[in-house]
Amino acid sequence: MTTREIFDTMDYGPAPESDAEARAWIATRGPAFGHFIDGRFTAPGETFATRNPARGEVLAEVTQGTAEDVDAAVKAASRAAPKWAKLSGHERARHLYALARLLQKHARLFAVLESLDNGKPIREARDIDIPLAQRHFYYHAGLAQLLAEELPGHSPLGVCGQIIPWNFPLLMLAWKIAPALAAGNTVVLKPAEYTSLTALLFADICREAGLPRGVVNIVTGDGATGQAIVEHPGIAKIAFTGSTAVGRRIREATAGTGKSLTLELGGKSPYIVFDDADIDSAIEGLVDAIWFNQGQVCCAGSRLLVQEGIAEDFHARLKARMDKLRVGDPLDKCIDVGAVVDPVQLAAITRLVDANTEGEVYRAAVDMPKAGCFYPPTLITGLSPAAPLMQEEIFGPVLVSGTFRTPAEAVSLANNTRYGLAATVWTENLNLALDIAPKLAAGVVWVNATNLFDAAAPFGGVRESGFGREGGWEGMLAYLEPDVALKPAKPVAPEPAPETVEAPGLDRTAKMYVGGKQARPDGGYSRPVFSRRGKLLGHAGIGNRKDIRNAVEAARGASGWSKATGHLRAQVIYYIAENLSARADEFAARLRDLTGATAARAEAEVAASVDRLFSYAAWADKFDGVAKSVPIRGVALAMREPVGVIGMLAPEEAPLLGAVSLIAPAIAMGNRVVLVPSWPHPLAATDLYQVLDTSDVPGGVVNIVTGDPRELGGTLASHLDVDALWSFSAAVDTGKLEAASAGNLKRTWMNHGGNPDWLSRAGQGRRFLEAATEVKTIWVPYGE
């Protein structure tokens, strides 16, 4: 083609990137690779091929990790952990800074190797993945420097097992390793079997950076290797990014082990376009949302929702833009859409699309390579909200679309999914955008933009998109534990019936408290509650799964509490404290009867309960979101939101204060709760609902179901409309509860290390508020 012809046609000519240096590195370090353990590369063991998906050729052989390999890596990390944790923040910061600098120095090599191994266009690897990976190490070098001052009273967890996916191999490594090292942990990381090469190159620069041996260990392999990491008893934390199905299995495998767990899972993210949007800008954003990285992005805007009035025009312009996309060799800098990572993934995409029987399928009129793992950019319009392709993650360059009429319908359709990772809103009306963003069930919302990421901005999902955040101080907290004194929680049995029962003068019937009303137990059974001296204090209902169902329904119906202002919630909690204080003598007497405590101890528990209510009333309008300093002309607002409906199993040993210590932070942050009180001493909590009745607490915000926590806890854990479960009961099997919670991947907080002294400062504070909230990051670019 001549220069004149290029100017006449405006066609792009090829701009190939040389892969010579990357192939030379493979040949020099490989072509068969072992693991990186204790600062050294091991000899290759049984290997499997890693291939270039654009050409199908073998790039290298990578060792299949065994349980013995994982054990060696964990032992190396365990040996290195004490010394690494004792380094000052400044010393760890220097190591992280060195890694960031080396990532910059070897940036081109990393970019080319990533494109060869993964199939993504070199432009994306060069301009997005590698700079963001560098940014994470620079940013976390800063967090390491400031950690002791900004987060005092925290310690590293120990050895962290990290399992990353194949769609962003180096970037996901940076997201995991940088905060772990900054916090003082050591790591054992498994890259995806399809894309291990940039992780091995990173191991190479760890040696160049002089990182102490054993701090970073990389074990390659397939799912069996990942399973060995998840199940290893020497690992304190698992951080996983991948599919929801695997995340659910990891939740079940770690149940009851006490391992910290963060999961960043799948998504079916809505891309909402209102009729006042800049259509051409929204289409360019959509190209980035769904055809970036061939659509192999967990937060891809794969579900397009267009306001009905502009839908026909929007789809026509979108199809014209699709026809201009360039599909081909990822190492050509003119290519927009590269290769799908592996023939297995290509077959999965093809199978899902071919099985669809709804709507209209449009495949871009583009030249397709005759070989390699390529799939054309595809648009499917006219799908119903319940269509499988509108609900299931395709993880490929396939966009599905529907329409809406009103903003309320847009929100309803957007939230009509089991996922909740990200969402995009396009409108020229900022008021509309900021009205819609808080209503979307998503961990990240982009306004008039898409796929914005930064190390300072928390990223993560809700619902079945997982839990935990990566990035910012919020991500650092996932690799730290508070220095809180805990005591082993010991089961307390109800007092047995004496031979001669001393009956009360007038029976006080303690019912359930559901939806703001007293309710008899569904099963019709109650049990007597005796004092230590054998006095019959009353009867408590024995709740069952129907009582939990009713309580959860009432809690879901009280969603208005989550929208109330922090000031209003504070006033209600102050009022609870006021009314409890007015009845302090009565509650103290009840505690003496229930537990046999001294008068001083009972009075102290009531006083501490009032104080705790005051503390969380004070926090209700002060546990703020923050504007993150991100490198764009705009802001990333990290906003605190309530988790939703929280099931709670109260501690046995502090029947009033334990219940208040759980209820107060949850409702202060806008949650609704279903509380199972202390099994041996339930009457302290049932007396409390009389206080709630007189304190303007809306019906359904606090629900109390008495009964055996072993039965009721299991029901709460498996209930799909419960968003989180807190258990401080010593009577339950936390492993069974956490395993049951995998159904909807609810957040759990279990007393694996024991309970705090509820009378001490350890029984309250920011960790309760953090457990009661989730961070939603709203990106708002501004200006022309």
What are the catalytic residues?
Answer: 264, 298
Side-chain-side CA neighbours of 302 within 13 Å: the count stands at: 27
Maximum separation of any 2 CA atoms in the chain, in Å: 108
Residue 448 Cα distances to 137, 169, 320, 358, 426, angstroms: 28, 27, 21, 30, 5
CA separation for the pair 553, 72 (Å, rounded) = 49
Query: And the tokens for 398?
Result: 């396939």
* Tokens encoding 422: 């990200």
How far apart are the C-alpha atoms of 602 and 607, rounded to whole Å? 9
Through-space distance between the first and last CA atoms of the chain, rounded to whole angstroms: 38
Q: Residue 443's CB: how many other CB atoms inside 10 A?
A: 28
Asked if 304 and 400 count as a contact pair (C-beta separation under 8 A), the reply is yes
CA distances (Å), origin 748, targets 306, 482, 724, 740: 36, 17, 6, 11
Q: Where are the beta strands (DSSP E) in 448-598?
A: 466-467, 480-482, 509-510, 512-514, 517-519, 526-530, 536-541
Residues in the chain: 784
Q: Which helix (H) or strand (E) holds 216?
A: strand 216-218
Rg for the chain, CA atoms, rounded: 28
Q: Which of 746, 560, 526 lies closest to 648 in space, CA to CA?
A: 746
Report whether 530 contacts 497 (CB < 8 A).
yes
Cα–Cα distance between 63 and 41 in angstroms, integer?
11
Helix (H, G, I), strand (E, B) or coil at 433: helix
Helix ranges restricted to H, 365-461: 388-391, 407-414, 430-436
d(CA 19, CA 21): 6
Whether 721 contacts 556, CB under 8 Å = yes
Cα separation, 197 vs 297, in Å, equals 20
Contact 187, 160 (CB under 8 A): yes
For residue 210, give Cα distances in angstroms to 126, 215, 240, 291, 702: 26, 11, 27, 39, 55
CA atoms within 13 A on the CB side of 577: 21
Q: To which residue do tokens 């220069």 refer? A: 3
- Torsional sign, CA 344, 350, 356, 357: negative
Per-residue DSSP letter, 470 = B
In sequence order, the 6+-apart residues with CB closer than 8 A to the CB of 233 are: 257
Q: Cβ of 783: how many Cβ atoms within 10 Å? A: 5
Distance CA 270, CA 27 (A): 44
**422-426: strand order across its sheet:** 360-363, 378-381, 398-404, 303-307, 270-273, 422-426, 444-447, 773-781, 634-642, 626-628
Name residue, tokens 């007038």.
Answer: 506
* Nearest Cα to Cα of residue 663 among 589, 561, 739: 561
Residue 744: how many other CB atoms lie within 10 Å: 16
